[in-house]
Amino acid sequence: MDERREPPPEATDRAPIPTGIARLSPVQEAWSAYVNHSLHQCPTCRRVDGSPCEKAERLYGVYTRLANEGMDRLRQS
What residue ranges bind Zn ion (CB under 5 A)?
A: 42, 44-45, 53, 56
Using an 8 Å Cβ cutoff, are 30 and 55 in contact?
no
- CB-nearer residue toward Zn ion: 17 or 42: 42
Using an 8 Å Cβ cutoff, are 65 and 29 in contact?
no
Query: Least separation, in Å, of the C-beta of 64 and Zn ion?
Result: 16
Query: Least separation, in Å, of the C-beta of 3 and Zn ion?
Result: 28
- Measured distance CA(71)–CA(42) in Å, rounded: 29
Query: Least separation, in Å, of the C-beta of 4 and Zn ion?
Result: 28
